[in-house]
Amino acid sequence: MDPNPQTTADEADRLARLRELVILDSAPEPVFDSIARMASEICGVPIALISLIDMERQWFKANVGLPGVNETPRDIAFCDYAIRSDAVLEVPDARADSRFANNPIVTGAPDIRFYAGAPLILPGGQRVGTLCVIDRETHHLSAAQIAMLRSLAAIVTEALIMRRDLIDRTLAVRAEQERVLRQLTAIIENTTDFVSQADPQGKIVYLNPAARRASGIALDAPLTDSWYTRFNPPETLRLYSEVILPALKTTDVWLGESTVYAENQRQIPVSHMVIAHRDGAGQSERYSTVMRDVSVEVEAQRQLAQQTAILRSVTEAIPDIVAVFGVDLCYRFVNSAFERWIDAPRQTIVGRRMEAVLGPAAFNRMLPSLEKAVAGEPVTYESSTRHHGGVAYQAISFIPLRMEDGSVESVVAVAQDVTMQKREEMRLRELSLRDPLTGLLNRAGFEQHLERALIEGRGPSLALLYIDLDHFKPINDKYGHPVGDQLLQQVAQRLRKTVRPTDGIARLGGDEFAIVLSGVNARQDAHAVAEKVISSIKNPFDVAGASLTVSASVGVAFAVDAAGSVGDLVARADTQLYKAKAAGRGRYSGESD
Kindly write down the DSSP assignment for every residue of 26-73, as one continuous string. Answer: PPP-HHHHHHHHHHHHHHT-SEEEEEEE-SSEEEEEEEES-TT--EEE
CA atoms within 13 A on the CB side of 269: 7
* CA–CA dist 302, 292 (Å, integer): 11
Residue 587: strand, helix, or coil = coil
Helix and strand counts by DSSP (H, E) for the chain: 17, 23
Q: Of residues 537 and 420, which shows the higher confidence score?
A: 537
Question: CB under 8 Å to 339, separation ≥6 — which residues?
Answer: 345, 346, 349
* Residue 315 binned pLDDT confidence (cut-offs 50, 70, 90): very low
State how beta strands 512-517 and 504-509 pair: antiparallel
Considering only CA atoms, which of 161, 185, 163, 181 is closest in space to residue 173? 181
Smallest Cα–Cα separation from 69: which of 83, 48, 90? 48
> What band does 303 get if pLDDT is binned at 50, 70 and 90?
very low
Q: Give the H or E element holding residue 390.
A: strand 390-402
pLDDT for res 459: 67
pLDDT of residue 486: 92
User: CA-CA distance, 444 to 167, in Å (whole number)?
Assistant: 39
Question: Region 50-63: what's the mean pLDDT?
Answer: 95
pLDDT tops 50 at residue 305: no
Collect contacts of 526-533 with beta carbons under 8 A, ≥24 apart.
526/463, 526/465, 526/556, 526/558, 526/590, 527/556, 527/588, 527/590, 529/463, 529/465, 529/498, 529/499, 530/465, 530/554, 530/556, 530/588, 530/590, 531/588, 532/498, 533/465, 533/467, 533/495, 533/498, 533/588
Return the percentage of the chain with pLDDT > 70, whole number.
89
Number of residues in the chain: 593
SS3 category, 558: strand
User: Comparing 429 with 130, which gets the higher pLDDT?
Assistant: 130
Bond preceding residue 246 cis, omega within 30 of 0: no
Residue type, 147: A
- In the predicted structure, residue 307 carries a pLDDT above the cut 50: no
Q: From CA 54, how far away is CA 495, in angstroms rounded?
A: 71
Exposed, middle or buried, 478 (CB in 10 Å: 0-12/13-18/19+)?
exposed
64 Cβ contact list (under 8 Å, min separation 6): 33, 36, 37, 39, 40, 46, 47, 48, 49
User: Given a cut of 90, is residue 36 above it in pLDDT?
Assistant: yes
pLDDT, tens digit (0-9, with 9 covering 90-100), for 524-542: 888 989 899 999 999 999 9
499: pLDDT confidence band, cut at 50, 70 and 90? Answer: confident
Of 119-123, 398-402, 577-581, the range with the highest mean pLDDT is 119-123
Question: 400, 377 in Cβ contact below 8 A?
Answer: yes
417 contact partners, CB below 8 Å, separation of at least 6: 318, 321, 392, 393, 394
Q: Is the dihedral of CA 445, 450, 455, 457 positive or negative?
A: positive
Banded model confidence at residue 317, pLDDT cuts 50, 70, 90: very low
Residue 140 or 268, more confident: 140
- Does 388 score more than 80 pLDDT? no
Any idea what DSSP says for residue 436? T
pLDDT at 54: 95
Contacts of 523 (CB under 8 A, 6+ apart): 463, 556, 558, 590, 591, 593
Mapping DSSP onto H, E and C, the string for 83-120 reads CCCCCCEEECCHHHCCCCCCCHHHHCCCCCCEEEEEEE
- Please state, as a whole number, how many other Cβ atoms lie within 10 Å of the Cβ of residue 494: 16
User: Do residues 101 and 113 touch, judged by C-beta distance below 8 A?
Assistant: no
Distances (CA, A) of 370 to 381, 383, 395, 423, 566: 11, 13, 14, 26, 42
pLDDT value for 326: 86
CA 489, CA 481: separation in Å to the nearest integer?
A: 12
Residue 159 makes CB contacts below 8 A (sequence gap 6+) with 31, 32, 35, 317
pTM: 0.38
pLDDT digits (tens, 9 = 90+) for 468-488: 998 898 988 888 989 999 999
